[in-house]
Structure 1
Amino acid sequence: MVRITPRSLRTRLVVGVIGIVLVMAAGIGALSTLMLRHSLMDRLDEQLTAASERAAARRQGAAPAGSDTGKAQGNDPSAQPPGDGATPPTGTSGDVPLGLDAVGQSTGTLTVIASGARGEDGSFSATSMIKAGYIDDDGTYRTLTDAECAVLLSLEVTGEPVTVSVDSLGNYRVLVTEDSTSGDIVVTGLSTTGDEKLIRTQLLAQLLIAIIGALSAALAGGTMVRAALAPLERVADTAERVASQPLARGEVSIRERVDAADVASSQEIGQVGNALNTLLGHVDEALTARQRSETQVRQFVADASHELRTPLASIRGYTELIQRSGADAVLPEDSVHALERVHSESVRMTALVEDLLLLARLDAGRELEHAEVDLVEIVVDAVSDARAAGPDHVWELNLEVLEPPAQLSPEAAAEFIPEPTLVVGDEARLRQVMVNLLANARVHTPAGSRVTTTLSRGDAGTLVIRVADDGPGIAPAVRERLFERFARADASRERRTGSTGLGMSIALAIVQSHHGSLTVESHTDADNHGTTFTVTLPTAPPPEDAACGGRPKERCSHGPHICPRVSGTCPE
């Protein structure tokens, strides 16, 4: 399922502003176009009535040629009265309807005069006399076709202007009247082409204005929204900076706050900023209280552990003294067993106290020893000790770090000298990490399990130790709290293994103090089970020498380090 990323608030606001502008532009455009169309229609109807009256006066002889000039022109600036200059079609001058040649008739005017008997359906018979013509755009008289005449004469005599489409001539506004003197049917019409062109021009202009307005609204709205949301973005940046801080442990103080100028920028942002500042203040107080409590607990554990070391040492010493001095004495069997139990429990409690002291030191950030340590030696010794402690397991050691790369030729592989497997750290603590990992594999896997320890090189100058077993694996619920202190796989806290639940937490703390990482991967499936612990440690930097100008030394093929050279050979 594809997850749709929600649009930003800025985008939604700008799109909303543009939408409102477009809707308003469409409404205003539609209303203005309707009003313009109505106004043009009224004007055209007035011009049509005037043209019909001029034609009637011309037919009745009430208006001699040349009189009333300019009447129609005053109503229609585009009118071009043909007058004497209008040239009838050749051989058809007698066919021009009387009244079409009246002074003031504009281009686009048509006239149809039909006289004679009409049938029951209102149509004129073949014996009827029909004269029809129009004035084209050039001011020339043209005749109408029979089909065009039929369309015009099919209209009822209402004396009211109507709109009709006249084939190739386009739309016309026509007025059908009956001559009061002759009784002829007279159709007078004016073309709506000019008005339609004007409406189309206005629509295009409105569309262009709407586009320009939308673009302007997008630019101006985007700028305004960006400026208005800038304080909110800074509030979000403050929250992100706080969220990126390591708040889980250690001494933490949250100094980040929303700036007062942003809080005062607007009422809404002020509410969010004040709420966030209040929240950060409460969190800071809670973290301070937590750190104070943790410090007190750590100090108590450290003090208690330190104080317990002396009596525990005394208990162990006295039990060992009794066992040695009373070796020839006959003690009851119960007393001997009790003495052995006191000694073993004092040893176990001493180890627990030492672990608690180590954790207290690591928590306090005390520096460990820093010296070059060879991991090969530590790993080999740890596996050897584990083999002796757990003979019922199969222990394997894989030192990949000492093997030549697979891509080398046989000759290069024969001369291959591995790089030093050195890290900077505390050797005793790193040995403790290996002991804890191998002991964990021995204790929590059944007899016969295979435990493989691998030492290899990682990326970016690191050494990687992997301790993998083919045991039953670690349950997910246990895996989540594996590195917590006093965490045990058995909730009943039975002491069969003698585990204190501090081994993994100590190993993690030691590795982290060496700027490394400790991870676990485990599977519990029937076909795929086992656990792998991975320790990654940075390698020791190459040695430097003052004679090299502080640059790292290079390693010769036979071992010694020398200063970087441009040419020459290693010293013999």
Structure 2
Amino acid sequence: MTRRVSLAGRLSRALTACVALALAVMALSSTLVMRSWMLADVDSELHRLSQRADEHLDIDDADSEDDDGEASEAQSGEHGGADGAILPAGPGRRGPGNPGGPGFGGSGVADGTLQYVSEDGEAAGAIVTNFALRYLDDEALEVLESVPADALPHTVHLPGWGTFRVVSQVFDTRTILVGRQTDSVDNVVWMLVAVELVLSLCVALGAGLIGRAWVRRELRPLSVVREAAADIARRDLADDAQALTRVGDAAVSGPVEVAEVAGAFNAMIDAVEDGMERRARSETKLRQFVADASHELRTPLASVQGYAQLARRDIDEASRSQALERISSEGARMATLVEELLTLARLDDDRSLARDRVEVIPLVLDALSDAHVLCPDHTWELGSAAQEPVLGDEAAVRQILTNLLTNARVHTPAGTRVVVSVLGEDSPRLRSSPGVDETSGAAGARAPASSTITIRVADDGPGIPEAIRERVFDRFVRGDSSRTRDGHGSSGLGMSIVDSLARAMGGRVCLVDSESGTVIDVTLPSA
């Protein structure tokens, strides 16, 4: 399997490539600038030489130094002077003879300077080499003859002689071309390229090595994240989800990108621990719920079985009727418990309730009337009655009122006064009881609407015991916590249903402080 390249290696290679590219661009630019500058200097010199050649050009025989004065005079007389002397063409010459004298071969002409003269179809040229003239051959003269006489610099290559930068101009009837050898310029350029190439290579390699070390140093905190993740992966989170490894300050305070990864990792660990903790609490509550529900159902089932066995015996009619009545009452008790459990299951499944305009006062009056019929030994009253509707489900509001009044009826003695009030936003409120979240009777409640109506149920009974005030809206929590009851007590689900219904309609329920008795507020959004 191909080995994958590390991030540090990829970054260092990318850094090396970028540095090398930047150096190559700089080297190319500097080389081009240097060559252009050197050629511009040569071109400037060529224009100066072109003007000087026109002013001081002497056409003379190179061998005149060895002849006597008479030969020179004879030649001059024949051709009308030095400027017009034309010698018989010899090797390397096609006409006007040999450039010389102060105009070309004299002082002030640098080594490597070329001069070419063409007049009346005859041409001659020479190059200063080692401070001596070397005449051009016919092939070189043909190349120079093809150079345009436009007074512009041109680059030509003369076979066997090298590369020259030349300028050709026409003065009267004479074409004069001067040039400078550019081999030295090319040599300097190539030397500069070689030096820059070597330096660029060294700098790029150095940048790659230093960059790799720097990148590894900067990415070192990622190894801490990796080790922490590996430690979590080795664990069995089903059994060990406590004290998960987190990334320390060294990674969190590192580079921004690494710090963000480390912070996200720590946030993920927090979320995992919180989720595992909530899952554990949920499983605990579920086990407790199943145990309580099983117990609640076991008691009436045992009664039904016992009375059914009694009814099969040979007993008198009165005893049989009593057994059948008990079977019926225990069956109704189980049906109520099952219905309450189904209600909670539907609410836990986040099933939405209707959002209708509901008039509260008629529902309160119906609930008070039903409570008076069921328990005439209590005093049932309507308190403040704000004529404002709520936004919710009518059946749910009716069940909330029924459960609250049933709770007051079951857990208070005879003669207790129970007052139901409907309060608007401007009505006076009581302070919430410590330990009970004012926004909800249970965790996870939604915030109330901006405009709300509160249904308050207050009684002057003995109140809720302090030990269960914080858990009053949990399931299977009741004032009488004993497992054996006479069958007429509550199941411990009524207040939990009230809380779930209120939250499902976007409201809340809370237990508020009072000097005596129990006061419960159910706040719902107004229509």
TM-score range, shorter chain: 0.3 to 0.5
Name the larger-Rg structure: 2
TM-score, scaled to structure 2: 0.44
TM-score, scaled to structure 1: 0.41
Structure ranking higher on relative contact order (CA contacts 8 Å, 6+ apart): 2
